Structure 1
Amino acid sequence: MFEWILVGLISGWLAGKILNGNGYGMMCDIGLGLLGGVIGGMIFEVLGVRAHNFVGSILMSTSGATALVIATRIIRDEI
């Protein structure tokens, strides 16, 4: 459970930095990171790719969180 929170924190923060924004705040970034991990896991599962270590989990979660942040920004007309 602690690893999920840590991965969510790191990937949410990275997604905010990748998209040149200040993010949505710490708790929302963690939430987006956790949801991004689920989304990234589903996307990479379809592609047949699995994360075998901590760094792979962060990369997978960050890509999902980035997609999720882009989707929320499109919905909120921020892009």
Structure 2
Amino acid sequence: MNFLYFLLIGAISGWLAGQLWKGSGFGLIGNIIVGIIGGFVGGWLAGHFGIGGGGLLWQILIAAGGAWVLLFLISLIKR
């Protein structure tokens, strides 16, 4: 059950980051991948800056923020 929860948070946060970055997502699988990697990036950044919180909404926002940072870095590399 935890794995499905992890995938759901990844899909939602990846979709949200895609909407904020370019106005479109990457499809379900792409959103899950971006969201999961973004969750690691966001979790690391939140821990590094001492930002704490809990709950589903907080986890989605942190993962979406990390996914947005990931999308930003990818856009820099593509240039």
TM-score norm. by structure 2 comes to 0.88
Gaps in structure 2 of 5+ consecutive residues: none
The residue that corresponds to 1:6 in the other structure is: 8
Over the aligned positions, Cα root-mean-square deviation in angstroms equals: 1.2
Partner of 1:66: 68
Deviation at 1:59, TM superposition (A): 0.4
Q: By percentage of residues, which structure has more helix?
A: 2
Structure 1 residue ranges, 4+ long, deviating more than 6 angstroms after superposition: none
1:29 corresponds to which residue? Answer: 31
2:13, 2:61 within 8 Å by CA — same for their partners in 1?
yes
Q: CA deviation at 1:27?
A: 1.2
Unaligned 5+ runs, structure 1: none
Counting matched residue pairs gives 77
- TM (norm. structure 1) is 0.88
Q: Percent identity, aligned pairs only?
A: 32
8 Å contact from structure 2 (residues 15, 26) kept in 1: no
1:39 alignment partner in structure 2: 41
Counterpart in the other structure of 1:17: 19
Q: CA deviation at 1:22?
A: 2.4
Partner Cα distance (2:52, 2:60) in 1: 12
- Are the counterparts in 2 of residues 51 and 60 from structure 1 also a CA contact under 8 Å? no
Structure 1: distance between partners of 2:78 and 2:50: 32
